Amino acid sequence: MADTAADAVRRIGIKLAALAQDGLTFAAGDYDLDRYRQVSQLAAELLGTISGRPAAELSIELGRDSGYATPKVDVRGAVFDERERVLLMREKTDGRWSLPGGWADPGDAPSVAVTREVLEETGYHSSVVKLIACWDRDRQGNLPPLPVHVYKLFFLCRRDGPVQPPAELETLEIGWFGLDELPPLSLGRVNHRQLERALAHHRDPSLPTELD
């Protein structure tokens, strides 16, 4: 996808925020700590200017992380049935549909993280068949842009075990959809191209894992 000036500025803001976080983790003197706090605030102001969000809100969001700054990891599980319909869940946050998934939790292996998300959000037990892709969220065009850098891990999964009601905390409803009859997608989580690639791997699991 072609970069815009706003894309470039947002990347600079993300890198500044990461630099500030690293500095606040490793700096020893009060002078350096104060300077890194100022850099963090400037990063929030920069990201707020291009996103329209309040800098104070972004400061809180950026301040939730600590230690050496690394990309966040989002896991998504693609389950297909015998008619090549994909299992989707409707998000409470925006009322749109997505592959089940979310942020990986520390301490979980990737396969554990994604099968837990599938179970919680759809009620389906599953097992991982393969890693479809490790994608950079920005390069994939998932919208809206975020103030953090994200890697998206997409897994091909198969149904495995009994079905139970999904957790009510995040899921409005679930459904099986052909790719030619998709409901409105939660594009920050999954887009049509990503579902097409998941179907391609369902049809031919020997395809190599996709990168970037």
By C-alpha distance, which of 133, 149, 161, 181 is closest to 69?
Answer: 149
- What integer pLDDT is reported at residue 5 of this predicted model? 86
Say yes or no to pLDDT of 17 above 90: no
Query: 164-198 burial, b if ≥16 CB within 10 A, otherwise e?
Result: eebeeebbeebeeeeeeeeeebbbbbbbeebbebb
Q: Any alpha helices (H) in 87-144, and if so which ranges?
A: 110-122, 137-140
Residue labelled with tokens 């998504």: 76
- What integer pLDDT is reported at residue 73 of this predicted model? 96
Give per-residue pLDDT as tens, 25-66: 888 889 888 998 899 889 889 888 888 888 888 887 877 777
SS3 content of the chain, % helix, strand, coil (to 5): 40, 25, 35
pLDDT band at 114 (very low <50, low <70, confident <90, very high): very high
State percent of the chain over pLDDT 70. Answer: 99
Strand residue runs (E) in the chain: 72-79, 86-91, 97-98, 101-103, 124-136, 150-163, 171-177, 210-211
Residues in the chain: 212
Q: Mean pLDDT, the chain, as a whole number? A: 92
What pTM did the predictor assign?
A: 0.77
Say yes or no to pLDDT of 116 above 90: yes
Say yes or no to pLDDT of 206 above 60: yes
By C-alpha distance, which of 152, 171, 180, 13 is closest to 86?
Answer: 180
CA distances to 49, 116, 147 from 103, in Å: 26, 11, 15
Give per-residue pLDDT as tens, 119-145: 999 999 999 999 999 999 999 989 888
Say yes or no to pLDDT of 1 above 70: no
